[in-house]
Amino acid sequence: MLAAVLCALLAVTPVEGKRYDAQAASSSDSSSSTTHTSKKSGSSSTKKPAPSTSHTTTSSKKPASATEKKTSTTTHHSATAPRGKKKYVSPAERRRRAARAHKIKLAFVASTELRPMAQQLATLRTPAAYAGVTSYAHAHSGEAAAAAYLALGHAYFLDKRYTDATASLHQAKQSGEELNDYADFLAAKANHEANQEAQADVLLKGFKEKYPDSIFVDEVPELEANVLLDLHDPAGARHVLDAAASDPAAGRPGYQLAAGLVAQAQNQNQDAVRIFKALLLAYPLSNEAASARARLTSLGAEDSLTSDELRTLGDAYYKAGHYEEAAEQYRSLAQKFNLDTQTRNGFAVAAAACDLKLKRLTESQASALADTPDENGARRLYLLMELARNRNDLDEQTQIVTRMETDFPQSQWLAEALFSSGNMYLLRKDYPRAAEYYTYLAEHFPSNKNAAAAHWRAGWLNYRLGNFKDAERIFDEQIHNFPGTTETASALYWRGRLYETQDHDLAKAAANYRTIVRVYQHFFYAQMARQRLTALGSTAPVSTPDLDQIKSADVPTLAETFPEDSPHLAKAKLLANAGLNDYIPREIAADPDSGSWSALAEAQIYASYGEAYRAMRALKRALPGAASASIQSIPLAYWHILFPEPYWTIIKAESAKNNLDPYLVASLIRQESEFNPSVISYANAWGLMQLLPSNGKALARQEGMTHFQTFQLLDPETNIRLGTRFLKQTLDKFGGVPEYALAAYNAGDSRVEDWQAAGPYSGIDEFVESIPFTQTREYVQAILRNIEIYREIDASTTTSASKVTSGR
């Protein structure tokens, strides 16, 4: 079993958690991403975490001991079956699938009225919500009652009411059969959490044979092994894991943790240490890794981790944005014996980098780090440079970067310092200094992650400074050297403008503009390019090899219809009736033929019960390049979810009242909240149009609304009513120019007034590109893009309807 587990850790694509590639680690201090991870667990004093409301959870317990609490395991991946070439399905099997799907569809129809109550229970789990679903369950029989009892059992499980959960899940199984795998698996988990292991064991034995198509098949071995360990049967647990050693289940961190626990229970401590260690290093951000580390500590084996392996863990925490954990790791490493000086210095400076991210690093602390002629010394200087920038000490910042250019000319930390310095001077409107730093970075670090952005900014600032020859050269280099980056459309457009205004080569300008329209159909610069082409009239473009090589992103094969005989799809719809939303994508993905239709099927289920935002996100994940695609290249069914029109009647009415374009309002809502009426942002902006409570109160007073309270901003009609008034006021304040108003809606009036003062600008396109905040600039461009796409979708829908009506 050990060999199989270690093989799985090295070769099996992970099903959940995050596999960490040490060679791909990048401990950059200038950027980070946030990835969920759990608190460390494994001690007897740790309370059981509440099961996740958005992921499937399993748990593990110390063998032969009731004192250690279980640790929740988060399942991140939705797919449970590989997709690829369709395998042959016999006619008999097709008939079986069709009959099964038909039975599930009947269950779906029978339980349709349950959906709103079950969805409310899944979201709120209030006494009233429980009462509503309970009443429905008592009033119905068959599959309708089964779905209701399953909804109750799942909700009770999330609330840690395990006895109630098992009772409801038992009733679900007694009432129907289409969701019995869910009833059995969730009941087994509830029994396990309640230390009712014998009952859990009964439910898990033979699960795969009873439910071969269940999405839980790969999770059962690890859960059953943990149950058997608690029944003091490590040999049985090993047998269960060995039986699944060649299955996808073996690639799960939960399986591997269970394997380590089994080895430990059988006093095979060396095997246990190897398994726990491999698990920790392969999935350092998973809950299982925290348990594995606690086990290594309890076995006295934490010291078996080498400094390089421990550094890998610290880097994983850092890269994931878990700076406290990373700092703790690095500081612990720095205290280790038998470290060479360079390694010890590296851990110390890495810990200081965490403190910088946590905004608690002081200049004296950074200065006290060892000043060495290696990457540690380069990083130390980078940290000091960031601190100088934070306190606006320009002389110190300049001196540090100059020293880094001399002492560390090839260091990644010099590249980071250059990009940060360029950004600082850009925000200070010192464009020559900013362009100098950006240029140095692009020339000396052409493969750096920020090279394309720095190169573009150098070109743009030269353009703004009137250094048109330099700008032309840089734009040409951008198009040739960085053809697949986000800045390509901008470079094409502004090189086209220079072809017009400086070179007077209208044919080359037209070629650039046509390339933008061809490749980036709905981008902001495609709109601008079409305007320029109209102005150029009949100018014929020239053919340019560099431009011909720029291609739009491929659109995957997308189906508009779904197979009638897919039991998994039918089951996913039934799960929506029961409020088990988080299992929907997994259930759909379990159909091996769902590759071309899974995203639309998932999205349409969400949309069917009013969650336009969840539906939109499902398709955004599937079609990240939709904005560059033509309307004709993607079926309209997808477009209507990517650009939905919920609350359209309210939007049109309030837009008309405020003399606004309803497409502008819908486009703004899409960008602000994705049509999620209950969202509250980190900045305390509320609802569809993301209004601050103070603005909401003032706007309500203007609208004559009495006794206004902030929670009313979560009401779609109220939010749109007040938000359209606010948008109209903002537009009026900025002369009716949408670009100014949208920038102000996002970043505030005073900032836009400051940016206007930094002009003059030759046109609104120049103002938009000059917005120094990337988030605000992309926000403005996205809303203008959304407006165009909304219009095209509606026009295409009207055309399609006309063709149907006319019989063509």
Closest CA to 278 of 556, 589, 665, 8: 8
Which of 602, 672, 769, 788 is an active site residue? Answer: 672
Please report, as a single letter, which amino acid is at residue 338: N
Q: What is the DSSP string of 719-747?
A: HHHHHHHHHHHHHHHTTT-HHHHHHHHHH
Interatomic CA distance for residues 78 and 589, integer angstroms? 7
Q: DSSP letter for 499, please.
A: I
* Nearest one of 495, 494, 542, 485 to 519, comparing CA atoms: 485
The DSSP element (H or E) to which 536 belongs, if any, is: helix 524-536
Map tokens 């060396």 to a residue.
270
Q: Which two tokens stand for residue 223?
A: 């859960």
For the chain, first and last CA: distance in Å?
A: 64
- The span from the CA of 394 to the CA of 712, in Å, is 47
Q: What does the longest C-alpha to C-alpha distance in the chain come to?
A: 85
Identify the H or E element spanning 492: helix 488-498
Rounded to whole angstroms, how far apart are CA atoms 534 and 176?
65
d(CA 462, CA 445): 20
514 burial via Cβ count (<10 Å: 0-12, 13-18, 19+): middle
- Residues 154 and 183: their CA atoms lie apart, in Å, by 9
CB count within 10 Å of CB 359 equals 8
Cis peptide leading into residue 760 (ω within 30°): yes
Q: Are the CB atoms for 660 and 583 separated by under 8 Å?
A: no
Residue type, 153: G
CB-based contacts of 215-218 (< 8 A; 24+ apart in sequence): 215/80, 215/181, 215/583, 215/586, 215/587, 215/590, 216/181, 216/182, 216/185, 217/80, 217/249, 218/15, 218/80, 218/244, 218/247, 218/248, 218/249, 218/252
Helix H or strand E encompassing 58: strand 57-58
Distance in angstroms (rounded) separating the CA atoms of residues 226 and 363: 50
The alpha-carbon radius of gyration of the chain (Å, integer) is: 30
Beta bridge partners of 680: 686
CA distances from 18 to 216, 247, 321 (A): 20, 19, 14
The answer to whether residues 353 and 318 touch, using CB atoms and an 8 Å cutoff, is: yes
Single-letter residue type at 346 = G
Residue 558's SS3 state is coil
Q: How far apart are CA 418 and CA 433, in angstroms?
A: 11
Contact between residue 375 and residue 414 where contact means Cβ atoms under 8 Å apart: no
Distance of CA 673 to the CA centre of its chain: 15
Which helix (H) or strand (E) is 73 found in, with range?
strand 73-74
Structure tokens at 138: 């008592």
How many residues are listed for the chain in this entry? 808
Q: Any idea what the Cα angle at residue 754 is, between residues 748 and 760, rounded to 5°?
A: 130
672 is catalytic: yes
- Taking the CB of residue 72, how many other CB atoms lie within 10 A of it? 19
The DSSP code for 691 is B
**Residue pair 231/198 in contact by the 8 Å Cβ criterion:** yes
Provide the annotated active-site residues.
Answer: 672
